[in-house]
Structure 1
């Protein structure tokens, strides 16, 4: 049985919210008031701005003066700011929550995708309900975070199937390192790895997109080995075994944090 989509709206709170120096010292009433204000602003898409009457109504649910407490819990960036026009602003709201402009832009993109057949049509019951109110009511509400996550996952899957550009922190696997140590004895793999990453970061356009960076890395190393005549770089001493070379290269990568 298909799972029904959760149509509720959500706010984002990082896991350190309750332990933040500005929050941990608040009274229980001020803590609840701050969360309630964020919920209100997200629900009605006010971008963290609350009118004076609304802020006073939300704050008057408790005996303590929570508005004053939220305006004084930090010397430089208190949780609540009083504006010149008498309204209030939740500090940093737009850094964590979607703004009205972002919601409108995402909704417009989703509608455009739907017009192109990129999204399944809604059941008739849903269309009749949302369509009756024009652009008000359910249509003006932001879509849920769950739906956004699905879109991000779909886009990531598409990018993966088409290849990707190299991550500056990309590293070969232990198996790749061992294979090159066996096939290209004496090659300075650590130096070549840096050159490999720098080169592909600088390549513009589709040429810099690869489906398999591991295979690209191995081919690079083999080519560099051949360009140097296939000769070992190290001079003197007993010839190391394949196992010795693999362990040495792996140690070099670990020392450099690669």
Structure 2
């Protein structure tokens, strides 16, 4: 059994995408980040960076004590190696997946996250910041679109953890000031993943965990989310 400490963020969705694809038994423990649940001592023991998601695998392949992990990219890699799914075993195939997984972790996620913040959540609209991150989002969409011109999925003909990592960040494309019609290869890839039964099941978990998913963030939640320092996140 895997315990998934989860809130329906793009990084949280990555893990449910994988788990629904492979059918591993798991149970969701909602962590309401708008109310500060990510700062509770029990959660910080497994996720010291107080971010979504984290897992505890009670049945690791070595038969030892439970394994806890934070960081969505590390979780995807761990689960892929545990199950032997969605990560090629050959040198070149594995390298292709990993370079795009790290591209998402180091570029696509952080840049689109800043886009969301300044365009959707910042208390004042800063034109330079919005323009900066909308343009960078567009550049990254273009990178992915060009890469997908001659392949079905990010790492080739097969769906992998590289796709699972990137897809949730593209879901809110309208809020990012983008149009999928401007990126036809990306759009084709996006629609193919959206149609997968496991993707639909994974996104259904979002509403189960948070019935208010998709609603505007409250001012109190913004204070919790965006007012963090080393001092005020201690518990």
Does the alignment reach a TM-score above 0.5?
A: no
Task: Report which structure shows greater RCO (CA 8 Å, sep ≥6).
Answer: 2
Tell me the TM-score normalised to structure 2 length: 0.26
Q: Which structure has the greater CA radius of gyration?
A: 1
Tell me the TM-score normalised to structure 1 length: 0.24
